[in-house]
Amino acid sequence: MVSEIIGGDMNSPGEADIEPVLNEPVPLRIHHVHGDPRAVLDQVLRDHLHRRLRRVEATDAEFAAGTAAQTVAFTLAGGKRLRSALAWWGWRAGGGPVSGPVAQHALAACASLELLQTCALVHDDVMDGSQTRRGVPCVHRVHEAEHREHGWSGEDRRYGESLAVLVGDLALAWADDMLSGALPGVPRPEEGREVWREMRTEMIAGQFLDVRGQATRSRSESLALRIDLLKTASYTVERPLHLGAAMAGAPPAVIEALRSYGRDVGVAFQFADDLAGAYGDSRATGKPVGDDLREGKTTLLLALGTRIAREEGDAQALELLERVGSGADTAEAAAALERLGAADRVREHCRGLAARGAAHLDGVELPEPVHTHLADLARRIGEGV
């Protein structure tokens, strides 16, 4: 399952005192981060967000207890810290230190990706009209229900979605704030900033194409790949690695290898996610199975299946797949995609891309355990489908 792909236990690293980020008066006990960084990233994020929340209480207590607290809770509650961990591996690939004040700033910069992810998820859920996320009701559904229960004025849906838009906006602003507070402490702040700039725009571009493809019921393989490249590969793998490496001052060859790895493995990751969405276990994905098909997302799986059905003159399957997103039975559609061989083709592509991604790393010298970890990640993605 994709949710388990980054797997492994979080480590319990040793501790050492270190300077707090943002010149704030709360000292954070921080670690030498030699192995898996996720536990430390989580701690850095938690510490930062709790300090931020305390400051917001002075702005407005109702807001602090509302949108601000919810932004913090959502960010801390779930997530696999995939993006921030990859940024950290990029940092280490670039030769960044694993302890001391510079490492502390790098950890904060990496962790800021999790706030960006909060924005992406909460806004995406509004755009998809989703019901659940990580196994619990989406932010907009929570507020929609709150509105209904209190019998408040206006429309419950609009209220719920408005509050979710605000949670996403706050997360996006706070992501920038967290990054901006951390960058001055790393070796190459301007290089990191440049990657950040590209990444956010690419993330929004990917979401735009996703929404548009769904509306136009596009079955274009090339559009599906553009979405996968922008929305997943860039934003989830390539740019996080790039961000970490760039702010450490990695040599161009290392950055190029990491980015090539990120594009291939990122697209493979999306293929695995598409397959899990169609055939997986909702306990593992945290989303109802079949959601992508129900919503008519432009995925390579669906685009390929449609092309095969057309090429083979399978009018019944073609008709069914064209109705995906507007009433087709999702289990039936998933079965058709399997029967047509589209699912197997996507599995093959996924494995091929994961292997090619890992191979990009062979041309450069990466410190351990960076190389092992990234190669393992690619392998797990390839083997998981």
Pick the closer one to a copy of itself by CB: 74 or 159. 159
Among 106, 170, 361, 375, which residue interacts with a copy of itself (rule: CB under 8 A)? 170
Pick the piece of the chain touching a copy of itself (CB under 8 A) from 38-46, 82-90, 171-179, 251-259: 171-179
Contact characters 123-152, a copy of itself, x per CB under 8 A: x--xx-x-----------------x--x-x
The token duo for 84 is: 């921030």
- One symbol per residue from 40 to 79: x for binding a copy of itself (CB under 8 A), - otherwise; what is it? ----------------x--xx-xx--xxx-----------
Q: 124 vs 332, which CB is nearer to a copy of itself? A: 124
Q: If residue 313 lies in a helix (H) or strand (E), which one and from where to where?
A: none
The SS3 call for residue 219 is coil
The pairing of beta strand 136-137 with beta strand 132-133:
antiparallel
- In Å, how far are 5, 242, 370, 373, 377 from 8, measured between CA atoms? 9, 23, 15, 11, 11
Q: Which of residues 85-104 bind a copy of itself (CB under 8 A)?
A: none
- Looking at beta carbons only, is 57 or 365 nearer to a copy of itself? 57
- The closest of 84, 240, 69, 68 to 169, measured between CA atoms, is 68
Residue from 80, 95, 99, 208 in contact with a copy of itself (CB under 8 A): 208
| CB distance 213 to 261 below 8 Å | no
Q: Which two tokens stand for residue 102?
A: 């510079």
**In the complex with a copy of itself, which residue's Cβ is closer, 157 or 380?**
157
Q: What are phi and psi of 369, to 5 degrees?
A: -90, 20
User: Cα(110)–Cα(83) distance, rounded to whole angstroms?
Assistant: 8
Q: Which CB, 69 or 364, lies closer to a copy of itself? A: 69
Any contact of residue 198 with a copy of itself (CB under 8 A)?
A: yes
- In this chain, which of 77, 136, 145, 173 binds a copy of itself, going by CB under 8 A? 173
C-alpha to C-alpha distance for 147 and 157, rounded to whole angstroms: 8
- Binding mask 295-314 vs a copy of itself (x if CB under 8 A, - otherwise)? xx------------------
Burial 324-362 (b: 16+ CB within 10 A, else e): bbeebebeebbbbbbebebbebbbebbbebbbbbbebbe
Select the residue interacting with a copy of itself from 230, 275, 301, 337 (CB under 8 A): 230
Q: Is 316 among the residues that bind a copy of itself (CB under 8 A)?
A: no
Using CB under 8 A as the binding rule, whether residue 358 contacts a copy of itself is answered as no
Task: For residue 204, give both structure tokens.
Answer: 């929004």
d(CA 167, CA 122): 7
Question: Which stretches of the chain bind a copy of itself, using CB under 8 A?
Answer: 56, 59-60, 62-63, 66-68, 119, 123, 126-127, 129, 147, 150, 152-155, 158-159, 161-163, 165-166, 168-170, 172-174, 176-177, 180, 184, 190, 193, 197-198, 200-202, 204-205, 207-209, 211-212, 214-217, 226, 230, 295-296, 325-326
